[in-house]
C-alpha cells in the first residue's frame, strides 16, 4: 500500500512545504483522471504551459483529455503501468510539477517532488523486501502474539521500522541454533546480489538499486546494511569451481557439479571460497544444474 495522504502531508510539513500545496499535489498525482482534464481547460494555465512544453503537445493533450480520448492514470504517472514509455512518464510528471508551481509557486513544485519521492521509495522497497527475504529460514516465538512465527515474517515486520541496526540484530536472533549467523549471512548475500540489479518498479529507467537507495532520502536508512554487505568477511556460500579437464571456471553455490562441457566423468573442483564482500552477481553462474 502506498503512503497515505496523511503521510504525504506530514512529509511536506517536515520539509517546510505549504499544507495546501501538498493537498493539491496529492489529489492531482493520485487522481489525475479526475483532476487533470479540467485544469488543462484553464486558458491562462495552458498559455503558461505552452512556453515550457510547446504549443503542439499541450494543445494535443488538453484536447484529448477534454474529449476523454486520452486519460492519464495513477499507474502511468507512478511508473507501474507499461502502457506508456519512460520518456512520457517523466514528461507528464514535469507537466504536473509545472501546474503545481504555477498555482502554488515553489511550494507546489516541492510538494510534487516530495510526493513522488515518498511513493518511489515505497515501490522500490517492496522489491527490496522480496529480494532480501529469500531463503530466510527458521521461526521465533513472538510474545506479543503468543505464537511462533516464520523468521521471514518477523524480519519483514522489522524492515518497517527502517532501523538498520534493529534489522541486523533481528537476523542474528532468528538464526537456527546450529548456525546463528545463517539468516544474517543470507540477508547480506541477497543485498550484495541486489545492488547492481535494476528496479522494475522504478520510473528511473536504467538505475540500479544501489543508485536509487543513494539518491532517495527515504531509502538512506538502508545504507548501513549496504556497507555491511560490502565489507563483510563472512563466507557467502558461493565458491569458484574449475573443471580439471577444460579448466572452465564458474562461480556458484557450494555443492557438487559436473562440467557440462566435458560430461559427467569430470567433477568440478572447488578452488576458492568467496566472501560476501567479494561476491559479484554478474559473475555468478546461471548453471544451477551444471
Quick one: 60 and 90 in the same domain?
A: yes
Maximum distance among all Cα pairs of the chain, rounded to whole angstroms: 79
Please indicate, yes or no, if residue 149 is contained in any of the structural domains.
yes
Q: How many domains does the chain have?
A: 3
Please indicate, yes or no, if residue 45 is contained in any of the structural domains.
yes
Residue 80: the pLDDT is 75
Please indicate, yes or no, if residue 289 is contained in any of the structural domains.
no
Please indicate, yes or no, if residue 270 is contained in any of the structural domains.
yes
Please indicate, yes or no, if residue 290 is contained in any of the structural domains.
no
Please indicate, yes or no, if residue 222 is contained in any of the structural domains.
yes
Q: What is the average per-residue pLDDT within 22-51?
A: 92
Quick one: 212 and 276 in the same domain?
A: no
By CB atoms closer than 10 A (0-12, 13-18, 19+), residue 208 is middle
Residue 227: the pLDDT is 95
What's the grid cell of residue 169? 540484530
Q: Which of 118, 146, 171 is the last residue of a domain?
A: 118
Quick one: 164 and 222 in the same domain?
A: yes
Find the domain containing 252 and state its range.
Answer: 235-283
pLDDT band for position 94 (cuts 50, 70, 90): very high
pLDDT in tens, 141-166: 778 778 888 889 889 989 989 999 99
Q: Which of 213, 231, 249 is the last residue of a domain?
A: 231
pLDDT at 203 over 70: no
pLDDT in tens, 245-288: 999 999 999 999 999 999 999 999 999 999 999 998 776 765 54
Tell the residue number behind the cell numbers 560490502, with chain if given. Answer: 230
Q: Which helix (H) or strand (E) holds 94?
A: helix 86-132
Give residues with Cβ within 8 angstroms of 282, minimum separation 6: 196
The answer, as to whether pTM is greater than 0.75, is yes
For residues 99 and 138, the model is more confident at 99
Do residues 268 and 287 lie in contact, with contact meaning Cβ atoms separated by under 8 Å? no
Quick one: 151 and 249 in the same domain?
A: no
pLDDT at 83 over 90: no
Quick one: 198 and 136 in the same domain?
A: yes
Tell the residue number behind the cell numbers 522480496, with chain if given. Answer: 130
Amino acid at each position: 500500500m502506498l503512503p497515505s495522504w496523511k503521510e504525504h502531508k506530514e512529509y511536506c510539513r517536515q520539509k517546510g512545504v505549504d499544507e495546501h500545496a501538498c493537498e493539491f499535489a496529492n489529489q492531482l498525482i493520485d487522481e489525475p483522471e479526475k483532476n487533470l482534464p479540467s485544469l488543462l481547460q484553464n486558458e491562462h494555465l495552458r498559455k503558461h504551459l505552452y512556453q515550457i512544453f510547446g504549443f503542439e503537445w499541450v494543445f494535443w493533450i488538453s484536447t484529448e483529455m477534454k474529449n476523454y480520448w486520452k486519460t492519464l492514470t495513477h499507474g502511468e504517472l507512478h511508473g507501474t503501468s507499461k502502457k506508456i514509455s519512460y520518456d512520457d512518464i517523466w514528461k507528464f510528471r514535469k507537466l504536473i510539477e509545472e501546474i503545481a508551481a504555477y498555482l502554488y509557486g515553489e511550494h507546489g513544485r516541492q510538494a510534487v517532488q516530495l510526493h513522488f519521492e515518498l511513493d518511489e521509495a515505497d515501490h522500490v522497497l517492496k522489491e527490496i523486501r522480496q529480494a532480501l527475504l529469500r531463503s530466510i529460514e527458521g521461526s521465533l516465538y513472538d510474545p506479543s502474539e503468543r505464537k511462533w512465527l516464520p523468521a521471514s515474517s518477523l524480519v519483514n515486520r522489522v524492515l518497517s521500522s527502517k532501523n538498520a541496526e534493529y534489522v541486523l540484530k533481528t537476523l542474528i536472533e532468528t538464526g537456527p541454533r546450529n548456525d546463528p549467523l545463517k539468516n544474517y549471512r543470507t540477508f547480506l548475500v541477497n543485498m550484495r546480489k541486489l545492488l547492481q540489479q535494476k528496479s522494475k518498479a522504478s520510473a528511473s529507467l536504467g538505475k540500479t538499486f544501489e543508485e536509487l537507495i543513494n539518491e532517495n532520502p527515504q531509502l538512506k536508512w538502508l545504507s548501513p546494511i549496504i556497507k555491511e554487505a560490502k565489507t563483510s568477511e563472512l563466507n557467502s556460500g558461493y565458491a569458484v569451481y574449475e573443471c580439471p579437464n577444460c579448466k572452465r571456471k564458474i562461480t556458484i553455490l557450494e555443492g557438487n557439479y559436473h562440467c557440462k562441457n566435458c560430461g559427467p566423468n569430470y567433477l568440478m573442483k572447488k578452488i576458492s571460497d568467496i566472501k560476501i564482500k567479494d561476491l559479484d552477481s554478474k559473475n555468478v553462474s546461471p548453471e544451477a544444474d551444471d
